[in-house]
Amino acid sequence: MTGAPLYAPQWRLALDALTAVVRDGRAADRLLQRAFRDQPQMGGRDRRRVNDLLYGVLRDLRRLRRIAGSDVPADWLALHALESGLTDAAGLHQLGVERAAVLAAALRGFDDARLTPAERGNVPDAIHAQWQAQLGAVETLQLAEALRAQASVDLRVNTLKCTRAQALAALRSAGFEAEPTPLAPHGLRLRKRAALQALPAFRDGWFEPQDEGSQLLALLVAARPGERIVDWCAGAGGKTLALAAQMENRGALLALDADARRLRDLPPRLVRAGVRCVTVQTLDAAEASRHEAAAARGAATFDAVLVDAPCSGSGTWRRQPEARLKPLDLAALAATQRQILDRAATWVRPGGRLVYATCSLLRAENEAVVEAFLATHADFELQDAGALLRTSGVELPGHYLQLYPHRHGTDGFFGAGLRRR
């Protein structure tokens, strides 16, 4: 064994969380936040241990399931604890794991060569096959390994309040190791995970957590001061805040989402960031208001609309490894994505821009959706994503923006820039 022993409260909480994630489809990060809030006696070391146990299993679940030969979460957690050196068979037995000796023997005798490439990469078979068709076997292996790793901690500097150099200096003076992101011009990357909420610079709105890839997607909109822009699936508003900064707080930015609950965290973030150009609405309310005004001023009046569509989330598996457990109906997802894109297109004025984005690494949700849209919308044309990003000083050539964790060090994102003729 290495380091501090594995204590019973850590084990119980990790096992309860793993069971809830696997059996009930709960989101791991939110579940742990709630659990830690309900157990304030747990210190930072305990929380890190529980976090490492839960995410360690989720990132290696298919392999652990094969070794265990069972669908019992306690068996998977026990194997991970053994392999990580956190305990031994005797320690597991004290924690109530009856099959401790059997599991320890199974771990010692297992040969990883028995695993399929999809199991080794912890990827569902159907998605692994699609990646092989898109990327080939070697790069699929590299992608799967990158998605099993822990994501970096990226921040977007709020240029409404400070420069990147000022934010970097504030972080370093507070003892945080940080450096500029290699691609996004307003991004910073921390060397290790850290709690930032207590920092005066965070409370004053100098920066927001946002993956570098998400920052690049927002730049694809090429928002300008004074424009009228829609963030169609705004959610918690990370891209909304980035767009407001691009607009220098001038113009009108509408943050929409079909689910009002997803918008709840956005208003306080706007206040902290000093953003005044944003209106937050549910999609139904916004469309009702638009229909009322359409007769007076024309239906398509927005300079740009960003559609970050609901998707498989395969590009975010570094942060949400449990997302790969969800049943996936790609045909239904693609149909929904096309419907959303069709609706959003009616808001774009002639000469305006429509940006379609996902956090998916699957062609069926990305290029195929854009191609289907263009086939039925002759009034739109594909713009060169590389040229759009170049206006923000970013060199990423290509007709589409396609970000891969193993190539770019970001979450996986896709973006297409379309222009209404």
Give pLDDT tens digits for 136-150. 999 999 999 999 999
The H or E element spanning position 41 is none
pLDDT value of position 297: 52
Domain extents in the chain: 8-115, 119-148, 212-420
In DSSP terms, which residues pair with 279 in a beta bridge?
254
Give pLDDT tens digits for 227-243. 999 999 999 999 999 99
Q: How many CA within 13 A on the CB side of residue 291?
A: 7
Of the pLDDT bands very low, low, confident and very high (cuts 50, 70, 90), residue 194 is confident
Report the catalytic residues.
359
**Alpha helices, H only, 70-211:** 73-83, 89-94, 100-109, 117-121, 125-135, 137-148, 164-173, 200-203
Average pLDDT over residues 170-190: 97
Give pLDDT tens digits for 57-96. 999 999 999 999 999 999 999 999 999 999 999 999 999 9
| 174 close to 168: Cβ distance less than 8 angstroms | no
Of the pLDDT bands very low, low, confident and very high (cuts 50, 70, 90), residue 193 is confident
pLDDT value of position 291: 57
Residues 6+ apart with CB under 8 A from 375: none
What is the share, in percent, of the chain residues with pLDDT greater than 90?
Answer: 92
Cβ–Cβ contacts within 10 Å for residue 108, how many?
A: 8
Cβ–Cβ contacts within 10 Å for residue 356, how many?
A: 27
3-class SS of residue 153: strand
For 158-224, list the strands marked E by DSSP. Answer: 178-180, 187-190, 207-209
| Res 285 pLDDT > 90 | no
| 393 close to 180: Cβ distance less than 8 angstroms | no
State how far the Cα of 92 lies from the Cα of 119, in Å rounded to an integer: 26
In sequence order, what DSSP letters do the residues of 132-147 get, joined into one string? Answer: HHHH-HHHHHHHHHHH
What is the share, in percent, of the chain residues with pLDDT greater than 70?
Answer: 97
| 17 close to 31: Cβ distance less than 8 angstroms | yes
| 148 close to 121: Cβ distance less than 8 angstroms | yes
Q: Name the CATH code of domain 212-420 (choices 3.20.19.10, 1.20.1560.10, 3.30.420.40, 3.40.50.150).
A: 3.40.50.150
Three-state secondary structure readout of 329-377: CHHHHHHHHHHHHHHHHCCEEEEEEEEEEECCCCHHHCHHHHHHHHHHC
